Amino acid sequence: MDKNARVYIAGHRGMVGSAIMRKLQREGFNNLITRTSAELDLRDQAAVAGFFESEKPGYVFVAAAKVGGIVANNTYRAEFLYDNLQIQNNIIHSSYKNGVAKLMFLGSSCIYPKLAPQPLKEDYLLTGRLEETNEPYAIAKIAGIKMCDAYRAQYGCNFISVMPTNLYGYNDNYHPQNSHVLPALIRRFHEAKRDNTSEVVVWGSGKPLREFLFADDLADACFYLMQNYDEPGLVNVGTGEDLSISELAHLVKDVVGYQGRLTFDSTKPDGTPRKLMDVSKLNQKGWKYTIGLKEGIWLAYQDFLEKHA
C-alpha cells in the first residue's frame, strides 16, 4: 500500500473501523477518507456512487455494518439483513466501478454453520445450517464474501474477505440490550459494583465456549493482510483459543473488581455451543495476536470508564 494513496475506511467511528484508522495513522497513512453515517448513508446507492466518483479512493476497508448481540440480531432481523446487504453491495460495486486497487470486506465468525466441527476452518462455509438467532446477519456477510469473489472472478478485482472472531476493545458498544457478551458483562459488573448490588445474573448456562480478539489486534491483522494476501475465499482472524462464558464472566468480574455473587439464568438462550476459529491459515501467512484476554479486558474497561461511566 502506497502511504500517499487515498484510503476509505467505511465505519471509521465503530470499534473495528476506529482501530483500523489508528493502525493506518501509526503506519504513516495520512490521506484517509471518512464519512459519518449522517454525512453518507451507505444504504443509499446513488449517494455511495457519487461519493466514490468524487473521492476516488485507492484502498477500501469495509468495516461499516449494522451489528449487535444475540438480542439485537434476533429482534431486528429484517434490518440486519437489509441494511447490511445494502451497505456492502453499494461499497463493493462502487469500488469496482471506480477502479479501487484493493478492498477488504470484514465479516464475522457467525457465517459458519451452528454445528460445524471445531475449530472452524475457512472451508466449512455453507456446509450446514446457521445459528437461527443471527441468521439474517450471517446471510448478509456470506453474500459479501461471495460478492468479493464474484467481482474478482468476473472483473479481476483484488477484493479480499476476512472473518474476525468475537471482538472487543476501544469504542465498543455498551448498550444494555444490544451489545455483545463481553462489553455487556463489563457494563453489568461495573454498575453492580457502583450500586453495591449483591448479585449479577448472566444470561444462559455459562457453558458455551467463545473466542475473543482485541480490536487493535484485528486492525493489525487487517493491515498485514492488505499487504500480504491477494486470494479468493476468506481468512479467519482470531486467537485460536477459547474459554467458557462462565470463565469469561469470572475474568471480567475480577478485572472490574466486583465482590458480589455471580449466577447464570439457564432459561435464557445460549446461542451456538462453541465458536472457535482455526487460524492456521493466518498464522502460516505470518501473523499472530499479541494482546492477551485479561490485558485486553483491562484496556477495554479503562476505555469504558473514560467514555461511559
Binding-site residue set for substrate: 188, 203, 210, 270
The closest alpha carbon to 242, from 268, 207, 210, 279, belongs to: 210
DSSP the chain: --TTS-EEEETTTSHHHHHHHHHHHHTT---EE---TTT--TT-HHHHHHHHHHH--SEEEE-------HHHHHHSHHHHHHHHHHHHHHHHHHHHHTT-SEEEEE--GGGS-TT--SSB-GGGTTSSPPPGGGHHHHHHHHHHHHHHHHHHHHH---EEEEEE-EEE-TT----TTTS-HHHHHHHHHHHHHHHT-SEEEEES-S--EE-EEEHHHHHHHHHHHHHH---SSEEEES-S--EEHHHHHHHHHHHHT--SEEEEETTS---SSEE-B--HHHHHHT------HHHHHHHHHHHHHHHT-
Active site residues: 137
Annotated binding residues, written as ranges, equal 11-17, 106-109, 141, 164-167, 180, 188, 203, 210, 270
Please report, to the nearest 10 degrees, the dihedral formed by the alpha carbons of residues 25, 27, 30, 35 taken in order. -50
List residues forming the annotated binding site for NADP(+): 11-17, 106-109, 141, 164-167, 180
